[in-house]
A and B are shown apart, each in its own frame.
Chain A
Amino acid sequence: AQKITQTQPGMFVQEKEAVTLDCTYDTSDQSYGLFWYKQPSSGEMIFLIYQGSYDEQNATEGRYSLNFQKARKSANLVISASQLGDSAMYFCAMREGLGNEKLTFGTGTRLTIIP
């Protein structure tokens, strides 16, 4: 089974609209972390947001928020008021278990913002 599933290979969104990128995960560990990274065409991976499995509140970082639904094992990224510069690949990733720092990445979603 896939550890991280991103079901949207591509999305087109009008500028200034909000967008939700889906991510579901599969783990039997109680302790895990969920991450979102943005990869523009330049190739660098930019850290956006982190959610720990024990965090009770959804993480927020500026225009980014993580809709964490533990029972459904989903960690969707919400980008408010999208901008042209948000066009990029977005990867969801998970770190599972205590003492393990390796990340497992999803296949990514290519987001295109339309002016």
Chain B
Amino acid sequence: GAVVSQHPSRVICKSGTSVKIECRSLDFQATTMFWYRQFPKKSLMLMATSNEGSKATYEQGVEKDKFLINHASLTLSTLTVTSAHPEDSSFYICSALRLDGKNIQYFGAGTRLSVL
């Protein structure tokens, strides 16, 4: 398999603050990473596709000014939840795409965000 690191694993913040989540591919270069959100007992919902060196592509209904994505290098993508509110509380998980023919997405361990 491949190793994707996501940090922090858990964050608690006050309403109105911004939170940055990092996603790193540790043993391969990833020009493409993905950010998902998962509600309790639900499946993963794709939020956006992060492309190294270019703007992220957001899924319909996802506010790009709310969820800022930066993919500044081949091993790092960040998701910043700006001016977080309690409704942003959720489990956020990233994946990195390994281009090897099978093109498998390898996931980080996720970040549980709680906004008070």
Q: State the A residues within 8 Å of B (CB).
A: 33, 35, 37, 42-47, 50, 52, 91, 95, 101-103, 105-108
Contact = CB atoms under 8 A, between A and B. Distances in A.
Majority secondary structure of chain B interface residues (helix, strand, loop or mixed):
strand
A101 B107 contact: no
Q: With a 10 A CB-CB cut-off, give which of B1, B43, B49, B104 has the most chain A CB atoms.
A: B43
Given A101-B32, A102-B34, A102-B49, A47 B106 contact: yes
B82 interface: no
A35 B104 contact: yes
Contacts of B42: 107
Interface residues of B, number: 22
Interface in B18-39: 32, 34
B43 A106 contact: yes
Contacts of A107: 42-43
Given A101-B97, A102-B46, A102-B49, A43 B112 contact: yes
Contacts of A50: 102, 104
